Amino acid sequence: MNHLAPVTFVTGGSGGLGKSTTARAIAHALGLRRMRTVLIDGNPGQQSQRAFLKIRTGGLEDAALDSLPNALVMPGQTHAAYALLPGPVDPRRGDLVTLYGSAITALQTSCDIIIVDADRVDPTLWATPTTFAGGVMRPMIDLGLARMIFIIGSTGSQVDDGLDALAAIHQPQRVLALAQCGQLAKPRPEAGWRQVTAPVAHFGGTCQWDKTSTRMLDQGRSGYPAGAEPDWLVHACLWAGGRKADFMKGRKR
């Protein structure tokens, strides 16, 4: 029987929470541990990964399913430890759900881990089968074929939007929630987050941007050096299928 790579969608209930940055950091950390990791750009309208990595090749619509590995932008071109499958250039295509679903299934036999940088989720999108959330993520999550890392904002409507989306997803055993906190903000106590998210997700910690992470972005780097990843990122990598021994070795505190 062929090995099937685990699939993890990185998403959230609001825009501007760092979903794409988090997806890159997870993929990079896993790749540094010699796991063949593919990052899929699952947000064709935004194309964040293509822009950050300065990729100018064609999108997913140009790849034949029987030769998808050949369509990947390999680590030598991403200057990171993962390969990238850019999303379709045209976000209005009527066959996006089919394209993504087929690509994920085809890639599962040729790599070790798949991380999907997905668009945001809300109850309406989750209930609509023609959207990425409802047509790609939901079937795989509901059938136990994928996991989710859900980034939730720490202020006002971002908290409410995130909790509403998590309630609609209603798969607490398959969802890891990460709280997002800005560089100058004070994180909420993690005990409070665990209590709030317990009915709808596991809680994996708070990803707070600091001078190190800001410098990483400014320099165009996808992630942290091996062993220097913050605790929340290690937790996310283990949730996505990383090997615990690989992340504990040489760990810097």
Cα distances from 206 to residues 101, 127, 161, 174, in angstroms, run 30, 28, 17, 18
With vertex at residue 179, the alpha carbon angle to CA 9 and CA 233, rounded to the nearest 5 degrees, is 60
pLDDT confidence of residue 63: 64
Exposed, middle or buried: residue 211 (CB in 10 Å: 0-12, 13-18, 19+)?
exposed
Picking from 232, 228, 230, 224, the residue whose alpha carbon sits closest to that of residue 250 is 228
> Domains along the chain?
7-248 (3.40.50.300)
What's the token pair of residue 80? 């990171």
**What letter would DSSP give residue 217?**
H
Q: What is the pLDDT of residue 3?
A: 81
3-state SS assignment for residue 132: helix
CB 13 within 8 A of CB 164: yes
pLDDT at 1: 41
What 3-state class would DSSP assign to 179?
strand
For the stretch 189-219, pLDDT in tens is 999 999 999 999 999 999 988 888 888 888 9
Give the residue ranges of the chain where pLDDT is below 50.
Answer: 1
CA distance 168 to 181: 23
Between the alpha carbon of residue 102 and those of residues 120, 136, 146, 198, the distances in Å are 21, 10, 14, 33
Q: Which amino acid, 239?
A: W
Residue pair 179/191 in contact (Cβ under 8 Å)? The answer is no
pLDDT tens readout for residues 101-123: 989 998 998 899 999 999 899 99
Q: What is the pLDDT of residue 188?
A: 87
Per-residue DSSP letters for 51-117? HHHT--S--GGG--GGGHHHHSB-HHHHTSSSEEEPPPS-TT-TTHHHHHHHHHHHHTTT-SEEEEE
CB 176 within 8 A of CB 202: yes
